[in-house]
Amino acid sequence: MFVDQVKIHVQAGKGGDGIVSFRHEKYVAYGGPFGGDGGNGGSVIFQADPGMTTLLDLRYHRKIKATPGEKGKNKKMHGANGEDKIVKVPLGTIVKREDTGQIIADLTEPYQQQVIAKGGKGGRGNYHFKSSRNTAPKYAELGTLGEEFDCMVELRVLADVGLVGFPSVGKSTLLDAVSRAKPEIGDYPFTTISPNVGVVQTRDGRSFIMADLPGLIEGASTGKGLGHQFLRHIERCRVIVHVVDMGAEEGRDPLEDYKIINDELGSYQIRLLERPQIVVANKMDLEHAEENLKRFKEAYPDVTVYPTTTIIHEGIDPVLTKAADLLAVTPAFAITDDEMKNDGVVYTFEEKKSDLQIQQVDAHVWEVSGPRVERVFDIQKLNTEEDYFEFANKMRYLGIDKALREAGCEDGDTVQLLGYEFEFVES
């Protein structure tokens, strides 16, 4: 079964907690703090595997979780780091965040690796907090959580040349004639329901990868028929071979077929018509083929047409030679609109969002929020006097005290932080 799109949930490992421990050994006076650091959590890593052709494995393993780090140990011993979770995927795999749509991995090289979700950092043991003012700290850090989110994993066939055209125009027959790929061939629409890929070699020794892609129909760019499931795979192709049934065996007009397919390619979100296109007039052995070819050349005088009869391997060599020539001078195309916009000269400035927001929610009531606040503070770890001391130090270090004063917070006002309330005391 060919699977080319899967939604999964990834969760990196949590960092191990640092511990509070003291040295208690005979003949060691004033042993002091001896708590070790927690280990880092494992990360979720995707690796491109040349031996894979489908995302079927991910379809049955939609939750991917890495191992958390171990807690710190006494004698300043570091907890073990969590084991990374390596997920093997086919070449051409793209990983997007579900919430933002951002592409976080594009795996096109054999055995290329990319960290998808980074593991949490291990907390420091109390050994790190020893100072001249506090020689026996009873405070240790908790490990931070690893990244966790939903993502879309998409496979976009990694081919140099893509065959496009209506169903039953001879794309599979052409691939079968020029490579060792064995696509299903039949005299009914949508014989090909998943991409077939083969290695093609020209007579002068040049080679490239050609993909036989499922047939297009009118409205494919809006999702009709195989729709985006097809168009997604042509994004990586540098050259398009447009196969037209010039014999009109299915009762369609070749001129109308050519226009409809190009309209669908132009309507897709990626500008596919910018790729060089080779037009193949197939099935020239049929009765009305020559007449239709003459009409086609009159309607499109600037388009070079290559007449072929793929079922008997006639006229194929010029097509392959032209494809190899175009590949030699055609660079890779960007696969997203955002990447293509960056190729221009227009840039816009967006102010970076603040990590700290102060908002007055009621009279003498203030709320502190922001991504950095959520990362730094662990309100549940306020058990000892030193926990509160460390909490107050972080408030000052992050500039929360100053920001509250500048916003108008006064002595005795209530401050809300991560669901807890505190009284603001002006020192």
DSSP 124: P
**Which residue type occupies 136?**
A
How many Cα atoms are found within 13 Å in the side-chain-facing hemisphere of 349? 1
49 annotated as a binding-site residue: no
Distances (CA, A) of 99 to 24, 70, 160: 51, 30, 31
- Reading the block at residue 256, the tokens are 């109308």
Whether residue 179 is annotated as binding a ligand: the answer is: no
Tell whether residue 213 is among the known ligand binding residues.
yes
Burial of 366 (0-12, 13-18, 19+ CB in 10 A): buried
Residue 207 marked as a ligand binder? no
Sequence-ordered strand ranges (E) for 127-253: 148-155, 161-164, 196-201, 207-212, 239-245
Q: Phi-psi region for residue 322, left (φ > 0), alpha (ψ -120 to 50) or beta?
A: alpha
Instruction: Tell me whether residue 166 is annotated as binding.
Output: yes
Run of H or E residues at 278: strand 277-282
Tell me whether residue 171 is annotated as binding. Answer: yes
Measured CA to CA, the distance from residue 163 to residue 173 in angstroms comes to 11
Q: Is 215 annotated as a binding residue?
A: yes
214 among annotated binding-site residues: yes
Q: Which residues pair with 148 in a beta bridge?
A: 11
165 is in an annotated binding site: yes
Known binding residue 191? Answer is yes
Judge whether 389 is annotated as a binding position.
no
Q: Would the annotation count 28 as a binding residue?
A: no
**Does 282 carry a binding-site annotation?**
yes
The answer to whether the beta carbons of residues 302 and 184 sit under 8 Å apart is: no
125 is in an annotated binding site: no
The response to whether 172 counts as a known ligand-binding position is yes
Determine if residue 190 is labeled as part of a ligand binding site. Answer: yes
Backbone φ and ψ for 245, nearest 5 degrees, come out as -80, 90
- Residue 169 near residue 242 (C-beta atoms within 8 A): no
- 3 annotated binding-site participant: no
| 170 annotated as belonging to a binding site for a ligand | yes
Q: Is 261 annotated as a binding residue?
A: no
- Any binding-site annotation on 310? yes
- 311 among annotated binding-site residues: yes
Q: Between helices 385-397 and 400-407, what is the axis angle to 10°?
A: 60
**316 assigned binding-site residue:** no
* Binding site listing for Mg(2+): 172, 192
In the annotated binding site, the residues are: 165-172, 190-194, 212-215, 282-285, 309-311
As annotated, the binding site for GTP includes 165-172, 190-194, 212-215, 282-285, 309-311
